[in-house]
Structure 1
Amino acid sequence: MAGRSSSPARLLDAFDLAILRIVQRDNKLPQRTIAEAVNLSTAAVQRRIAAMEAAGVITRNVAIVDPDAVRLAITAIVEVHLRDEQAATVDEAKALFRAAPEVQQCYYTTGGTSFVLIIVTPDMRAYDALTRRLFSENDCVERFRTLVALDRVKADTAIVIP
Protein backbone atom coordinates (compact mmCIF):
# COMPACT_ATOMS: atom_id res chain seq x y z
CA MET A 1 0.00 0.00 0.00
CA ALA A 2 1.35 3.39 -0.97
CA GLY A 3 1.85 5.83 1.86
CA ARG A 4 0.34 9.26 1.92
CA SER A 5 2.72 12.07 1.17
CA SER A 6 2.89 15.17 3.34
CA SER A 7 3.51 17.27 0.23
CA PRO A 8 0.76 19.42 -1.27
CA ALA A 9 -1.90 17.66 -3.32
CA ARG A 10 -0.61 16.64 -6.74
CA LEU A 11 -2.41 18.24 -9.63
CA LEU A 12 -3.44 15.64 -12.17
CA ASP A 13 -3.18 16.41 -15.86
CA ALA A 14 -4.93 14.74 -18.80
CA PHE A 15 -2.23 12.05 -19.04
CA ASP A 16 -2.57 11.16 -15.35
CA LEU A 17 -6.36 10.93 -15.67
CA ALA A 18 -6.07 8.72 -18.76
CA ILE A 19 -3.62 6.44 -16.94
CA LEU A 20 -5.95 6.23 -13.92
CA ARG A 21 -8.91 5.24 -16.12
CA ILE A 22 -6.84 2.37 -17.52
CA VAL A 23 -5.29 1.08 -14.28
CA GLN A 24 -8.66 1.12 -12.51
CA ARG A 25 -9.90 -1.42 -15.05
CA ASP A 26 -6.72 -3.54 -15.00
CA ASN A 27 -3.69 -2.55 -12.93
CA LYS A 28 -1.72 -5.56 -14.20
CA LEU A 29 -1.73 -4.23 -17.74
CA PRO A 30 1.87 -3.84 -18.96
CA GLN A 31 3.07 -0.26 -18.71
CA ARG A 32 4.12 -0.31 -22.36
CA THR A 33 0.48 -1.04 -23.29
CA ILE A 34 -0.68 1.85 -21.10
CA ALA A 35 2.00 4.06 -22.66
CA GLU A 36 0.77 3.25 -26.17
CA ALA A 37 -2.83 3.98 -25.16
CA VAL A 38 -2.01 7.42 -23.72
CA ASN A 39 0.79 8.38 -26.16
CA LEU A 40 3.61 8.53 -23.63
CA SER A 41 6.83 6.58 -23.18
CA THR A 42 6.84 3.57 -20.87
CA ALA A 43 9.28 5.41 -18.57
CA ALA A 44 6.93 8.42 -18.37
CA VAL A 45 4.00 6.16 -17.45
CA GLN A 46 6.12 4.42 -14.81
CA ARG A 47 7.17 7.79 -13.29
CA ARG A 48 3.59 9.09 -13.29
CA ILE A 49 2.20 5.95 -11.62
CA ALA A 50 4.97 6.06 -8.99
CA ALA A 51 4.26 9.77 -8.36
CA MET A 52 0.51 9.11 -8.00
CA GLU A 53 1.24 6.30 -5.53
CA ALA A 54 3.60 8.53 -3.53
CA ALA A 55 1.03 11.35 -3.49
CA GLY A 56 -1.75 9.03 -2.30
CA VAL A 57 -3.79 9.34 -5.50
CA ILE A 58 -3.40 5.59 -6.02
CA THR A 59 -3.92 4.23 -2.53
CA ARG A 60 -3.70 0.46 -3.10
CA ASN A 61 -3.35 -2.22 -5.73
CA VAL A 62 -5.73 -5.06 -4.90
CA ALA A 63 -7.49 -8.08 -6.37
CA ILE A 64 -11.28 -7.91 -6.52
CA VAL A 65 -12.62 -11.30 -5.39
CA ASP A 66 -16.05 -12.68 -6.26
CA PRO A 67 -17.75 -13.28 -2.87
CA ASP A 68 -19.50 -16.38 -4.23
CA ALA A 69 -16.13 -17.93 -5.12
CA VAL A 70 -15.04 -17.74 -1.48
CA ARG A 71 -18.45 -18.66 -0.06
CA LEU A 72 -19.47 -15.29 1.28
CA ALA A 73 -23.17 -15.75 0.60
CA ILE A 74 -24.60 -12.85 2.61
CA THR A 75 -24.10 -9.25 1.54
CA ALA A 76 -25.81 -6.81 3.90
CA ILE A 77 -26.21 -3.07 3.66
CA VAL A 78 -26.49 -1.77 7.21
CA GLU A 79 -27.66 1.63 8.43
CA VAL A 80 -26.17 2.41 11.84
CA HIS A 81 -27.55 5.11 14.13
CA LEU A 82 -25.20 6.18 16.92
CA ARG A 83 -26.45 7.27 20.34
CA ASP A 84 -24.83 10.69 19.68
CA GLU A 85 -22.55 12.35 17.14
CA GLN A 86 -19.84 13.47 19.54
CA ALA A 87 -16.32 13.11 18.14
CA ALA A 88 -15.32 10.41 20.64
CA THR A 89 -18.39 8.31 19.82
CA VAL A 90 -17.89 8.67 16.06
CA ASP A 91 -14.16 7.91 16.32
CA GLU A 92 -14.81 4.80 18.42
CA ALA A 93 -17.36 3.53 15.89
CA LYS A 94 -15.01 4.25 12.96
CA ALA A 95 -12.21 2.31 14.64
CA LEU A 96 -14.48 -0.65 15.39
CA PHE A 97 -15.89 -0.81 11.86
CA ARG A 98 -12.46 -0.29 10.26
CA ALA A 99 -11.06 -3.22 12.27
CA ALA A 100 -13.82 -5.69 11.28
CA PRO A 101 -12.76 -7.60 8.15
CA GLU A 102 -16.39 -8.41 7.35
CA VAL A 103 -17.05 -4.70 6.85
CA GLN A 104 -16.09 -4.21 3.22
CA GLN A 105 -17.10 -0.56 3.00
CA CYS A 106 -17.98 2.00 5.65
CA TYR A 107 -19.34 5.49 5.07
CA TYR A 108 -19.90 8.16 7.72
CA THR A 109 -23.04 9.86 6.44
CA THR A 110 -25.51 12.71 6.90
CA GLY A 111 -29.31 12.64 6.84
CA GLY A 112 -30.12 10.94 10.12
CA THR A 113 -28.08 7.78 9.60
CA SER A 114 -24.62 7.86 11.17
CA PHE A 115 -22.98 5.14 9.08
CA VAL A 116 -23.78 2.95 6.11
CA LEU A 117 -21.81 -0.29 5.95
CA ILE A 118 -21.45 -3.02 3.35
CA ILE A 119 -20.86 -6.32 5.14
CA VAL A 120 -20.18 -9.80 3.77
CA THR A 121 -20.45 -13.03 5.75
CA PRO A 122 -20.65 -16.71 4.85
CA ASP A 123 -24.13 -17.21 6.34
CA MET A 124 -26.80 -15.68 8.57
CA ARG A 125 -25.36 -17.29 11.70
CA ALA A 126 -22.08 -15.45 11.14
CA TYR A 127 -23.98 -12.26 10.33
CA ASP A 128 -25.96 -12.55 13.57
CA ALA A 129 -22.76 -13.01 15.61
CA LEU A 130 -21.20 -10.00 13.90
CA THR A 131 -24.22 -7.77 14.53
CA ARG A 132 -24.15 -8.68 18.20
CA ARG A 133 -20.48 -7.73 18.44
CA LEU A 134 -20.61 -4.56 16.33
CA PHE A 135 -24.07 -3.22 17.16
CA SER A 136 -26.18 -4.90 19.84
CA GLU A 137 -23.42 -5.09 22.46
CA ASN A 138 -21.95 -1.71 21.50
CA ASP A 139 -22.95 1.20 23.76
CA CYS A 140 -22.18 3.68 20.95
CA VAL A 141 -24.91 2.24 18.73
CA GLU A 142 -28.50 3.27 19.36
CA ARG A 143 -29.98 1.07 16.62
CA PHE A 144 -29.23 -0.47 13.23
CA ARG A 145 -31.19 -1.63 10.22
CA THR A 146 -30.15 -4.36 7.81
CA LEU A 147 -30.96 -4.69 4.13
CA VAL A 148 -29.89 -8.07 2.72
CA ALA A 149 -28.88 -7.98 -0.93
CA LEU A 150 -30.74 -10.46 -3.12
CA ASP A 151 -28.45 -9.99 -6.12
CA ARG A 152 -25.17 -8.17 -6.81
CA VAL A 153 -26.31 -6.17 -9.83
CA LYS A 154 -23.22 -3.94 -9.97
CA ALA A 155 -20.24 -3.81 -7.66
CA ASP A 156 -17.78 -1.61 -9.53
CA THR A 157 -14.85 -0.28 -7.60
CA ALA A 158 -13.66 2.19 -10.22
CA ILE A 159 -14.21 5.88 -9.63
CA VAL A 160 -15.61 7.78 -12.59
CA ILE A 161 -12.81 10.07 -13.74
CA PRO A 162 -13.87 13.03 -15.89
Structure 2
Amino acid sequence: MPSPLDSIDRRILDELQSDGRITNQELSERVGLSPSPCLRRLKQLEGEGVITRYVALVDPETVGLGVTAFVRVRLDQQDDRHLEAFETAIMQFPEVMECYLMTGEADYQLRLLVPSLGTFEDFLRNRLTRIEGVSQVTTSFALRPVVYRTKIPV
Protein backbone atom coordinates (compact mmCIF):
# COMPACT_ATOMS: atom_id res chain seq x y z
CA MET A 1 0.00 0.00 0.00
CA PRO A 2 1.35 3.44 -0.88
CA SER A 3 2.53 5.67 1.92
CA PRO A 4 0.38 8.74 2.67
CA LEU A 5 0.91 11.62 0.26
CA ASP A 6 2.17 14.89 1.68
CA SER A 7 1.83 18.31 0.07
CA ILE A 8 5.08 17.97 -1.91
CA ASP A 9 4.01 14.58 -3.32
CA ARG A 10 0.71 16.15 -4.33
CA ARG A 11 2.50 19.06 -6.03
CA ILE A 12 4.73 16.58 -7.90
CA LEU A 13 1.65 14.69 -9.08
CA ASP A 14 -0.12 17.90 -10.06
CA GLU A 15 2.85 19.12 -12.12
CA LEU A 16 3.39 15.76 -13.83
CA GLN A 17 -0.27 15.51 -14.79
CA SER A 18 0.05 18.88 -16.52
CA ASP A 19 3.32 17.98 -18.24
CA GLY A 20 4.58 14.39 -18.12
CA ARG A 21 7.72 15.36 -20.06
CA ILE A 22 8.91 17.95 -17.56
CA THR A 23 12.58 17.59 -16.61
CA ASN A 24 13.48 16.65 -13.07
CA GLN A 25 15.29 20.00 -12.75
CA GLU A 26 12.19 21.98 -13.69
CA LEU A 27 9.93 19.75 -11.58
CA SER A 28 12.16 20.23 -8.55
CA GLU A 29 12.06 24.01 -9.00
CA ARG A 30 8.26 24.04 -9.31
CA VAL A 31 7.71 21.95 -6.16
CA GLY A 32 10.43 23.61 -4.07
CA LEU A 33 12.91 20.74 -3.71
CA SER A 34 16.44 20.20 -4.88
CA PRO A 35 16.75 17.73 -7.80
CA SER A 36 17.97 14.66 -5.85
CA PRO A 37 15.16 14.55 -3.25
CA CYS A 38 12.64 15.34 -6.00
CA LEU A 39 13.86 12.40 -8.08
CA ARG A 40 13.77 10.13 -5.00
CA ARG A 41 10.15 11.09 -4.33
CA LEU A 42 9.26 10.58 -7.99
CA LYS A 43 10.81 7.10 -8.00
CA GLN A 44 8.97 6.29 -4.76
CA LEU A 45 5.65 7.40 -6.27
CA GLU A 46 6.34 5.19 -9.29
CA GLY A 47 7.48 2.25 -7.16
CA GLU A 48 4.40 2.41 -4.95
CA GLY A 49 2.09 2.43 -7.96
CA VAL A 50 0.78 5.95 -7.40
CA ILE A 51 2.17 6.83 -10.83
CA THR A 52 1.28 3.89 -13.05
CA ARG A 53 2.61 5.04 -16.44
CA TYR A 54 3.36 7.98 -18.72
CA VAL A 55 1.39 8.53 -21.93
CA ALA A 56 0.85 10.95 -24.79
CA LEU A 57 -2.70 12.24 -25.16
CA VAL A 58 -3.81 12.14 -28.80
CA ASP A 59 -6.68 14.19 -30.21
CA PRO A 60 -9.08 11.50 -31.56
CA GLU A 61 -10.41 13.65 -34.42
CA THR A 62 -6.93 14.27 -35.82
CA VAL A 63 -6.44 10.50 -36.24
CA GLY A 64 -9.86 9.90 -37.77
CA LEU A 65 -11.81 8.85 -34.67
CA GLY A 66 -14.51 11.51 -34.67
CA VAL A 67 -17.41 9.50 -33.24
CA THR A 68 -17.71 8.93 -29.49
CA ALA A 69 -20.34 6.43 -28.40
CA PHE A 70 -21.47 5.67 -24.88
CA VAL A 71 -22.88 2.17 -24.74
CA ARG A 72 -24.81 0.61 -21.88
CA VAL A 73 -24.85 -3.17 -21.88
CA ARG A 74 -27.12 -5.53 -19.98
CA LEU A 75 -26.31 -9.19 -19.60
CA ASP A 76 -28.92 -11.89 -19.34
CA GLN A 77 -27.17 -13.21 -16.21
CA GLN A 78 -24.88 -11.45 -13.76
CA ASP A 79 -23.05 -14.45 -12.35
CA ASP A 80 -19.25 -14.58 -12.21
CA ARG A 81 -18.95 -16.70 -15.35
CA HIS A 82 -20.94 -14.26 -17.51
CA LEU A 83 -19.25 -11.18 -16.06
CA GLU A 84 -15.80 -12.67 -16.63
CA ALA A 85 -16.67 -13.77 -20.18
CA PHE A 86 -17.91 -10.29 -21.07
CA GLU A 87 -14.91 -8.55 -19.52
CA THR A 88 -12.45 -10.87 -21.25
CA ALA A 89 -14.13 -10.31 -24.61
CA ILE A 90 -14.47 -6.54 -24.29
CA MET A 91 -10.77 -6.11 -23.50
CA GLN A 92 -9.97 -7.40 -27.00
CA PHE A 93 -11.68 -4.49 -28.76
CA PRO A 94 -9.39 -1.48 -29.27
CA GLU A 95 -12.38 0.82 -29.91
CA VAL A 96 -13.40 0.41 -26.27
CA MET A 97 -11.59 3.21 -24.46
CA GLU A 98 -13.28 2.64 -21.10
CA CYS A 99 -15.46 -0.06 -19.61
CA TYR A 100 -17.06 0.09 -16.18
CA LEU A 101 -19.06 -2.49 -14.24
CA MET A 102 -22.09 -0.50 -13.11
CA THR A 103 -24.95 -0.45 -10.67
CA GLY A 104 -28.43 0.41 -11.87
CA GLU A 105 -30.18 -0.53 -15.10
CA ALA A 106 -27.06 -1.40 -17.11
CA ASP A 107 -24.40 -3.90 -16.12
CA TYR A 108 -21.64 -2.15 -18.08
CA GLN A 109 -20.97 1.33 -19.44
CA LEU A 110 -18.54 1.62 -22.36
CA ARG A 111 -16.96 4.58 -24.11
CA LEU A 112 -15.97 3.88 -27.70
CA LEU A 113 -14.07 5.87 -30.28
CA VAL A 114 -14.79 5.00 -33.91
CA PRO A 115 -14.31 6.72 -37.27
CA SER A 116 -17.96 6.61 -38.39
CA LEU A 117 -21.49 5.49 -37.61
CA GLY A 118 -21.01 2.66 -40.10
CA THR A 119 -17.99 1.43 -38.20
CA PHE A 120 -19.99 1.61 -34.98
CA GLU A 121 -22.82 -0.39 -36.55
CA ASP A 122 -20.34 -3.05 -37.65
CA PHE A 123 -18.86 -3.18 -34.13
CA LEU A 124 -22.32 -3.46 -32.59
CA ARG A 125 -23.72 -6.10 -34.96
CA ASN A 126 -20.66 -8.24 -35.53
CA ARG A 127 -18.77 -8.07 -32.26
CA LEU A 128 -20.51 -6.59 -29.22
CA THR A 129 -23.87 -8.34 -29.55
CA ARG A 130 -22.12 -11.63 -30.29
CA ILE A 131 -20.55 -11.79 -26.86
CA GLU A 132 -22.23 -14.57 -24.93
CA GLY A 133 -24.77 -13.24 -22.45
CA VAL A 134 -25.32 -9.77 -23.96
CA SER A 135 -29.07 -9.23 -23.85
CA GLN A 136 -29.56 -5.49 -24.33
CA VAL A 137 -27.51 -2.61 -25.70
CA THR A 138 -28.39 1.08 -25.52
CA THR A 139 -26.22 3.70 -27.19
CA SER A 140 -25.88 7.46 -26.97
CA PHE A 141 -23.60 9.48 -29.22
CA ALA A 142 -21.65 12.48 -28.00
CA LEU A 143 -22.25 15.67 -29.95
CA ARG A 144 -19.15 17.36 -28.52
CA PRO A 145 -17.06 17.20 -25.38
CA VAL A 146 -17.81 19.84 -22.77
CA VAL A 147 -15.33 18.72 -20.10
CA TYR A 148 -12.56 16.21 -20.74
CA ARG A 149 -9.96 15.83 -18.05
CA THR A 150 -7.10 13.46 -17.60
CA LYS A 151 -5.75 15.29 -14.57
CA ILE A 152 -7.22 13.96 -11.35
CA PRO A 153 -7.53 16.30 -8.38
CA VAL A 154 -4.82 15.54 -5.85
TM-score bin (small chain)? over 0.9
TM-score normalised to structure 1 length: 0.88
Aligned residue in 2 for 1:92 = 85
Mind listing any 5+ residue stretches in structure 2 that lack a counterpart? none
Match of 1:131 among 105, 117, 124: 124
C-alpha separation between the residues in 2 aligned to 1:134 and 1:58? Answer: 33
The amino acid that maps onto 2:10 is L
TM-score normalised to structure 2 length: 0.93
Q: CA deviation at 1:112?
A: 2.2
Match of 2:16 among 20, 23, 26: 23
Residues 102-154 of structure 1 show CA distances to partners (whole Å, capped at 9, x for unaligned) of 11111111112111111001111211111124432122211111101111222
Q: CA deviation at 1:18?
A: 1.0
Q: Does 1:150 align with 2:143?
A: yes
* Conserved 8 A contact 1:135-1:143: no
Runs of 4 or more, structure 1, over 6 Å off, are none
Aligned residue in 1 for 2:26 = 33
Q: CA deviation at 1:84?
A: 1.6
Once the two structures are superposed, the pairs formed by residues 1-162 of structure 1 within 5 Å of their partners are: 8-161=1-154
C-alpha separation between the residues in 1 aligned to 2:142 and 2:58? Answer: 17
Superposition RMSD in Å:
1.4
Give aligned-pair identity as a percent.
31
CA separation of 1:159 and 1:134: change in aligned 2, threshold 3 A: farther
